[in-house]
Amino acid sequence: MVEPLISARNIKKHFKVGEGILKAVDGISFDIYPGETFGLVGESGCGKSTAGRTIIRLYEPTDGELIFNGRNIYELSHREMQEVRKDFQMIFQDPYASLNPRMTVEEIIAEPLDIHRAYKSHKDRRNRVIELLELVGLNEEHANRFPHEFSGGQRQRIGIARALALNPKFIVCDEPISALDVSIQAQVVNLLKELQDKFGLTYLFIAHDLSMVRYISDRVGVMYLGHMMELAQSEELYENPLHPYTKALLSAIPIPDPEIQRSRKRIMLEGDVPSPINPKPGCRFVERCPHAREKCRQETPVFEEKRPGHFVACHYV
- Better-scored residue on pLDDT, 290 or 189: 189
All residues at 6 or more sequence positions from 154 whose CB lies less than 8 Å from its CB, including other chains: 138, 142
71-72/310-313 β-pairing = unpaired
Residues 43/222, Cβ–Cβ less than 8 Å:
no
pLDDT, residue 292, reads: 86
Handedness of CA 295, 297, 299, 304 (dihedral sign): positive
Q: What is the pTM of this model?
A: 0.92
Res. 288 pLDDT band, cuts 50 70 90: confident
Question: Which run of H or E residues covers position 259?
Answer: helix 258-263
Return the ∠ at Cα 141 (arms to 135 and 146), rounded to 5°. Answer: 95
Q: What is the spatial distance between Cα 160 and Cα 91, in angstroms, rounded to a whole number?
A: 6
- Strand order, beta sheet including 37-41: 88-91, 170-174, 202-206, 37-41, 219-224, 227-233, 310-313, 303-307
Measured CA to CA in angstroms, residue 258 lies from 72, 238, 262, 263 at distances of 50, 20, 6, 9
- Strand order, beta sheet including 71-72: 20-32, 6-17, 63-68, 71-72
**DSSP code of 289?**
-
Helices 182-199 + 152-164 axis angle, to 10: 20
**DSSP code of 43?**
S
Question: Which run of H or E residues covers position 302?
Answer: none
Strand-pair partners of 229: none
**DSSP code of 277?**
B
Tens of pLDDT, residue by residue over 225-268, are: 999 999 999 999 999 999 999 988 888 777 666 766 566 666 76
User: What average pLDDT does the chain have?
Assistant: 90
Residues 177/190, Cβ–Cβ less than 8 Å:
no
Given a cut of 90, is residue 31 above it in pLDDT?
yes
pLDDT, residue 264, reads: 64
Amino acid residing at 249: L
Residues 41/249, Cβ–Cβ less than 8 Å:
yes
Q: What secondary structure does DSSP assign to 79-131, as a single string?
A: HHHHHHGGGEEEE-S-TTTSS-TTS-HHHHHHHHHHHTT--SSHHHHHHHHHH
Tens of pLDDT, residue by residue over 132-183, are: 999 999 999 999 999 999 998 999 999 999 999 999 999 999 999 888 888 8
Res. 270 pLDDT band, cuts 50 70 90: confident
Tens of pLDDT, residue by residue over 65-124, are: 999 988 999 999 988 888 888 999 999 988 889 999 999 999 999 999 999 988 889 999
